[in-house]
Amino acid sequence: MRTLYSCLGALAALGILVMGDAAAQTASPPNLKEWFQEHDKNHDGKVDREEFYQGIIEIFYFRDKNKNGILTIEELQGVVSPEVVKAASRKGDNRLTLDEYVNALFRDFAAADTDGDGKLSFEEIDVYIRTNRR
């Protein structure tokens, strides 16, 4: 099953890369480092699951324009394709609950965590983006 990241080939789902940005196709998103530092709350050089989770919720909250607790295709427009939303949705519909959104992104977290320490280094995220970018 394709996850949000791999479908995007980037961290677009986290809102730090706009899909279709041609300039970003061959390099890391320019604000990836900033995003990483911002979410590495304990400054240990890695983003752990809790830090990642907090980042996801914040993005979900700000993308949820009408604050109804659900993200629709319209609210994810320009970030993910409708197919990605349907794949991540348990009901296969055009909307994502926070749980569905979190689950999809944590599958990418696991895939990106190549050393299996339960945390993501900047390099792991960077490599994951480059490897999965389409």
Partner 1 sequence: MRRGLDQCVAVLLLIVIAATACTTVQENPKTAIGGLGGAAFGGLIAAAAGGGGAAIAGAVIGGALLGGLVGNMLDQRDKRLQAEAAQKAFESSPAGKPVAWNNPDSGHSGTVTPVRTYQSNGQYCREYQTTVTIDNKQEKGYGTACRQPDGSWKIES
The residues of the shown chain that bind partner 1, judged by CB under 8 A, are: 38, 54, 57-58, 61-62, 67, 69, 98
54-75 burial code (b ≥16 CB/10 A, e <16): ebbeebbeebbeeeeeebbbeb
Smallest separation, CB 46 to partner 1 (Å): 18
Smallest separation, CB 55 to partner 1 (Å): 9
State which residue, 38 or 48, has the beta carbon closest to partner 1. Answer: 38
Q: What is the DSSP string of 102-121?
A: HHHHHHHHHHH-TT-SSEEE
Residue 14 is classified by DSSP as G
Smallest separation, CB 103 to partner 1 (Å): 14
State which residue, 64 or 81, has the beta carbon closest to partner 1. Answer: 64
